[in-house]
Amino acid sequence: MIRFYYNLSPNPMKVALCLEELGLPYEPVPVDPRKGEQFDAAYAAINPNAKVPAIVDGETTVFDSNAILLYLTEKAGRFLPRAETGGGETGRGEMLSWLMFVATGIGPFSGQCVHFRHFAPKDAGAYAMDRYVFEARRHWEVLDKRLADRAFTLGDEYTLVDMAVWGWARMVPFMLGEDAFGGLPNVKRLLDTVNARPAAQRAEGLKGRHAFKTDFDDEARRNMFRFLKPAA
């Protein structure tokens, strides 16, 4: 059985969706970042970067959410571009391009946007916040334009790329404001489509499996943002 190290943030949730879509048996293992559990030696042996998610599948360990999506879908042979619908080398190239667009663009800029809008000290500076809000919105607009003439990111079929998008798309209002979907109608349509899938509803059910720390106190700040020095 796959051991799935997770919390409820966007990157682990996209892996939860993938596991549920594939119907693979897995054991969810909570890692609470506000308690600093990601820095435990046992977990660091699994992911030296001290981030979730990670999976252990027999003798194979995979960390980074997008690497896990690719590993799982290739292992199962599902939710990948199919040759009869434009797959092959061309389809794989397109799939890798958009998966990495999420991995290196949407994810990091969205995460930094959330950080500077909601968690950074008030004296962090307007420039940093403006930059990350702009770049997060720009990346989402690129995806929205891509979705204007197709049902899913790669075309007419639901793939691992849409799972990668789903993890972050759920956070768009928190990230860019409650009215953000007004300018991203195609992203919202994709989100609604994926949310309606039974696998997405089962993935969301992980919220009731474990009580993660909710207080954002000094301990939580130090554990999540390790560059902060303890108060004197």
**CATH assignment of the domain containing 137:** 1.20.1050.10
Total domains present in the chain: 2
DSSP string spanning the chain? Answer: -EEEEE-SSHHHHHHHHHHHHHT--EEEEE--GGGTGGGSHHHHTT-TT--S-EEEETTEEEESHHHHHHHHHHHHT-SS--GGGT-HHHHHHHHHHHHHHIIIIIHHHHHHHHIIIIIS-GGG-HHHHHHHHHHHHHHHHHHHHHGGGSSBTTBSS--HHHHHHHHHHTTHHHHH-TTGGGG-HHHHHHHHHHHTSHHHHHHHGGGGT--------HHHHHHH-TTSPPP-
Unique residue bearing structure tokens 């998966």: 99
- Give this prediction's pTM: 0.93
Residues 74, 170: one domain? Answer: no
> HSE on the CB side for 75, CA within 13 Å?
15
Residues 60 and 99 occupy one common structural domain: no
User: What pLDDT score does 53 carry?
Assistant: 98
pLDDT at 121: 81
Q: Which domain holds residue 13?
A: 2-79+203-215
Are 171 and 107 in contact by the 8 Å Cβ rule? The answer is no
pLDDT number for residue 83: 54
Q: What pLDDT is attached to residue 224?
A: 84
Provide φ and ψ at 165, rounded to 5°: -65, -45
Please, what are the averages of pLDDT over each run of 10 residues along the chain (232 residues)? 97 98 97 94 95 97 98 97 66 95 98 92 84 97 98 96 98 96 98 98 94 87 70 42
Q: What residues pair up with 28 in beta bridges, in sequence order?
A: 4
- 180 with 99, same domain: the answer is yes
- 52 and 90 in a single domain? The answer is no
